[in-house]
């Protein structure tokens, strides 16, 4: 069936229970009545519900998101469009964004994760960009939780199933485990695309009378109330929400991608918007609002999969692989031919008007008549009460007696769920398709070649939720700095970030305080590092039965490598090269991985952030890479120096001998496992030049050892073969996933 069967809006008495069931408070419903001057019908109530949901309106976060730095000379388009856009030179732009699909992925892991990938891909190619790289940031519950293995398997299969079919390489990401995610996992998907810098497409619908067309897949009943479901916490009835999870089709998405890019090569498009959360409702309202126009639509013209769909169902469906396009007048046949060639539905469903209203007709009757601006712009904006997280006391290494010998502790860290090798995951993704992947997953950042050139894009995602829980401001700053460091370690020039802000219930002051603190820290780091925010997403209500997740503001970073010949990797390259440590080590163990995994404690302040030192150390390191003075580079992060050295040894299949500096004033375990920020491990064949450059730049640096042999030896307490390190690092995840799933 290609046309909607005639059916008027289903009559329904608007009761307080019905209003509450649509996620609207009494105050919000009073605002609805004031805007309309009357009671809404069911379709109109549904539209208000999704447009004013937390997921679509950002009503709890707007106040603070406005404080983030979003501008730089290279920023073409900041937050507010489908994705952010930055100028990367040579007439090209990078287009990227990260989105959450947390709630659907917990309910139905395969489809939830798959449609998360599909949605973020559409956000990018809607802007006129061809996607060139995917990333994903995953958080699961404790490995011993009965659902964790099932969720890992389903999510990874969903990401791979969709991304692989699309032919887009997955080149990076992260995966962590913590009990706080037992009842609410996080699936954050990021896509980066390339487009001509002067051919970016936007969503503002302009030109009274211009046709509004629907393209892509047909509309079904899947995903109805998806946006409102994503704006509420889970409870014992979570499984009943399965019908709100959309079902994706990557093969149709691939056709849609190619059709859109083909039409974009013409000058027929005025505006374009994908149908994501809240489907046809959100896309049309946002387009009309940005363009200052109205829209009149005939829902009988919407291609549908099922008979008898009501206006309510058509407008709120979140069926996948769909777009709304405003065309120039008279270009309908041209556009229809393009989408027909790709075997996709194409229908003229309406036109732009000058009255600023959304008028929906079905069966010849008006089934909804709503003002656009109040719905889109006058959605609630809350200044929710918040409580600052109390600052924890510092935890000096000298105050903690190590329960394990240093060598044993290193092996345990390498094998722990957060730090172990994630090959089991990324080997299920096609990370080499398109032939431009230069650095596959497993390094500091993924790197893809800008096709036909010797330039590359470096991409990464990162967050340390334990820091954000201990001190949100410090943790937010660290997440930005870590992404910046990851890019720098490859030799890339960091340019901009996207974020995915995952938190619990904002109506709880302590949760809102976590969000406010993280935003403050992120903003400070972005300003200090000239690393603006160009896109992002907020996901609240990530909790179950009142138990919230750790605050998890994931940062996706993008940078440019101007000469791929000079790009850097973390692997030890040759025997006898000097190992240099950039940055100061104070022995910080509060809120560290060592503290949690070895000492079985979660207390203490997170690492202090010195953003000036962060900037100086990173710029210095990048300069060394550009001058060709280094052979390897790796930032020091979770697990400290010892884990970073082990990762370099494992990657290169080569050992090293490292001396712990004398008179460091901290215990050995503090030097080995501290997570002080702003540090890099480097190797160089001519360390004299590097040390001289550091002295000139005023950067702290130490020559701590040499590469060589088949053992990693650190001081007097660590002497482990590279093969044993490799076994410890690579065994946990495949062994965990090899256990039969009981779900």
Q: Which two tokens stand for residue 501?
A: 């802000």
Three-class DSSP labels, 125-175: HCCCCEEEEEEEEEEECCCCCCCHHHHHHHHHHHHHHHHHHHCCCEEEEEE
Asked about 351 being catalytic, the answer comes back as: no
How many C-beta atoms lie closer than 10 Å to residue 348's C-beta?
Answer: 16
Between β-strands 186-196 and 294-298, what pairing exists: parallel, antiparallel or unpaired? unpaired
Rounded to 5°, angle at Cα 244 from 241 and 248: 130
Query: Taking a C-beta distance cutoff of 8 angstroms, is the pair 95, 129 a contact?
Result: yes
Contacts of 484 (CB under 8 A, 6+ apart): 494, 525, 529, 531, 557, 614, 618
Query: Taking a C-beta distance cutoff of 8 angstroms, is the pair 446, 458 a contact?
Result: yes
Between β-strands 543-544 and 322-327, what pairing exists: parallel, antiparallel or unpaired? unpaired
- The whole-angstrom separation of Cα 349 and Cα 358 is 13
- The whole-angstrom separation of Cα 650 and Cα 603 is 31
Strand, helix or coil for residue 695: helix
**What is the chain's alpha carbon radius of gyration, rounded to the nearest angstrom?**
26
Q: Would you say the C-alpha torsion 31, 34, 39, 42 has a positive or negative sign?
A: negative
Q: Which two tokens stand for residue 569?
A: 């990797």
CA distances from 608 to 73, 340, 394, 605, 614 (A): 30, 58, 9, 8, 11
Q: Would you say the C-alpha torsion 449, 679, 523, 232 has a positive or negative sign?
A: positive
* Gap between the terminal Cα atoms of the chain: 37
Which of 101, 351, 431, 634 does the annotation list as catalytic?
101
- The whole-angstrom separation of Cα 152 and Cα 141 is 10
- The whole-angstrom separation of Cα 702 and Cα 584 is 9
Among the listed residues 118, 150, 311, 129, the one whose alpha carbon sits nearest the alpha carbon of residue 217: 118
- The whole-angstrom separation of Cα 378 and Cα 365 is 28
Element (H, E) at 115: helix 109-125
- The whole-angstrom separation of Cα 368 and Cα 155 is 38
Total residues belonging to the chain: 743
Query: Taking a C-beta distance cutoff of 8 angstroms, is the pair 675, 588 a contact?
Result: yes
- The whole-angstrom separation of Cα 626 and Cα 612 is 21
Asked about 150 being catalytic, the answer comes back as: no
Query: Taking a C-beta distance cutoff of 8 angstroms, is the pair 578, 689 a contact?
Result: no
Phi-psi region of 57 (alpha: psi -120 to 50; beta: other; left: phi over 0): alpha
Query: Taking a C-beta distance cutoff of 8 angstroms, is the pair 160, 168 a contact?
Result: no
Strand, helix or coil for residue 316: helix
Among the listed residues 460, 462, 467, the one whose alpha carbon sits nearest the alpha carbon of residue 554: 462
* Cβ burial 200-224 (10 Å sphere, 16+ → b, else e): bbbbbbbbeebbbbbbbbbbbbbbb
Phi and psi, residue 337, nearest 5° = -65, -40
Which of 22, 55, 431, 729 does the annotation list as catalytic?
55
- The whole-angstrom separation of Cα 32 and Cα 248 is 33
Q: Which two tokens stand for residue 227?
A: 């946006």
- Whose tokens are 């969709």? That residue is 162
Which positions are catalytic?
Answer: 55, 101
């Amino acid at each position: 069936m290609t046309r909607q069967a005639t059916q008027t809006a289903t009559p329904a008495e608007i009761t307080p229970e019905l209003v509450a069931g649509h996620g609207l408070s009494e105050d919000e419903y009073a605002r609805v009545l004031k805007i309309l001057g009357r009671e809404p019908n069911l379709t109109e109530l549904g539209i208000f519900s999704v447009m004013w949901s937390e997921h679509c309106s950002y009503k709890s976060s707007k106040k603070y998101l406005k404080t983030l730095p979003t501008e730089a000379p290279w920023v073409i388009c900041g937050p507010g469009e489908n994705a952010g856009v930055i100028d990367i030179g040579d007439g090209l732009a990078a287009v990227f964004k990260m989105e959450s699909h947390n709630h659907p992925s917990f309910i139905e892991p395969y489809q939830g994760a798959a449609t998360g990938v599909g949605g973020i891909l559409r956000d990018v190619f809607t802007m006129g960009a061809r996607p060139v790289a995917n990333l994903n940031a995953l958080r699961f519950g404790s490995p011993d939780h009965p659902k964790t293995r099932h969720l890992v398997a389903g999510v990874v299969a969903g990401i791979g199933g969709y991304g692989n079919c699309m032919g887009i390489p997955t080149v990076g990401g992260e995966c962590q485990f913590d009990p706080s995610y037992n009842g609410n996992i996080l699936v954050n998907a990021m896509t980066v695309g390339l487009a001509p810098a002067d051919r970016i497409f936007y969503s503002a619908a302009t030109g009274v009378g211009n046709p509004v067309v629907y393209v892509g897949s047909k509309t079904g009943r899947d995903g109805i109330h998806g946006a409102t479901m994503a704006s509420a916490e889970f409870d014992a009835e979570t499984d009943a929400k399965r019908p709100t999870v959309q079902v994706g089709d990557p093969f149709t998405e691939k056709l849609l991608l190619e059709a859109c890019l083909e039409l974009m090569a013409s000058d027929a498009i005025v505006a374009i918007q994908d149908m994501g959360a809240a489907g046809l409702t959100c896309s049309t309202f946002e387009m009309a609002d940005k363009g200052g126009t109205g829209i009149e639509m005939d829902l009988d013209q919407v291609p549908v999969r099922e008979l008898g769909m009501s206006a309510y169902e058509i407008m709120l469906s979140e069926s996948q692989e769909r777009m709304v396009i405003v065309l120039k007048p008279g270009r309908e046949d041209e556009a229809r031919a393009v989408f027909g060639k790709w075997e996709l539905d194409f229908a003229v469903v309406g036109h732009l008007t000058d009255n600023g209203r959304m008028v929906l007709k079905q069966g010849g009757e008006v089934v909804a008549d709503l003002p656009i601006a109040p719905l889109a712009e006058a959605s609630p904006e809350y200044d929710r009460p918040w409580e600052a997280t109390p600052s924890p006391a510092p935890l000096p290494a000298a105050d903690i007696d190590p329960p394990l010998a240093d060598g044993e502790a290193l092996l345990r860290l390498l094998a722990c769920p957060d730090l172990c090798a994630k090959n089991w995951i990324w080997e299920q993704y096609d990370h080499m398709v398109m032939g431009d992947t230069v650095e596959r997953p497993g390094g500091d950042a993924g790197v893809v070649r800008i096709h036909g050139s010797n330039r590359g894009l470096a991409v990464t995602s990162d967050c340390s939720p334990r820091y954000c829980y201990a001190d949100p401001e410090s943790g937010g700053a660290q997440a930005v700095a870590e992404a910046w460091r990851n890019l720098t370690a490859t030799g890339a020039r960091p340019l901009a970030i996207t974020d995915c802000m995952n938190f619990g219930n904002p109506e709880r002051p302590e949760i809102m305080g976590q969000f406010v603190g993280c935003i403050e820290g992120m903003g400070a780091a972005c300003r200090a590092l000239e690393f603006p925010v160009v896109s992002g997403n907020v996901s609240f209500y990530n909790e179950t039965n009142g138990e919230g997740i750790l605050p998890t503001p994931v940062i996706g970073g993008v940078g440019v490598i101007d000469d791929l010949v000079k790009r850097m990797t973390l692997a030890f390259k040759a025997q006898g090269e000097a190992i240099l440590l950039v940055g100061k080590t104070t022995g910080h163990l509060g809120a560290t991985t060592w503290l949690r995994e070895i000492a079985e404690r979660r207390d203490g302040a997170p690492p202090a952030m010195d953003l000036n030192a962060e900037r100086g150390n990173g710029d210095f390191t990048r300069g060394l890479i550009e001058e060709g003075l280094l052979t390897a580079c790796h930032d020091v992060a979770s697990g400290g120096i010892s884990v970073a050295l082990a990762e370099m040894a494992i990657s290169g299949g080569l050992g090293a001998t490292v001396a712990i500096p004398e008179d460091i004033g901290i215990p050995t375990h503090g030097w080995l496992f501290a997570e002080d920020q702003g540090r890099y491990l480097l190797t160089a064949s001519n360390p004299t030049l590097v040390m001289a450059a550091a002295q000139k730049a005023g950067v702290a640096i130490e020559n701590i050892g040499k590469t060589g042999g088949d053992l990693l030896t650190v001081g007097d307490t660590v002497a482990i073969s590279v093969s044993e390190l490799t076994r410890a690092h690579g065994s946990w995840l495949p062994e965990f996933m090899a256990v039969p799933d009981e779900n």
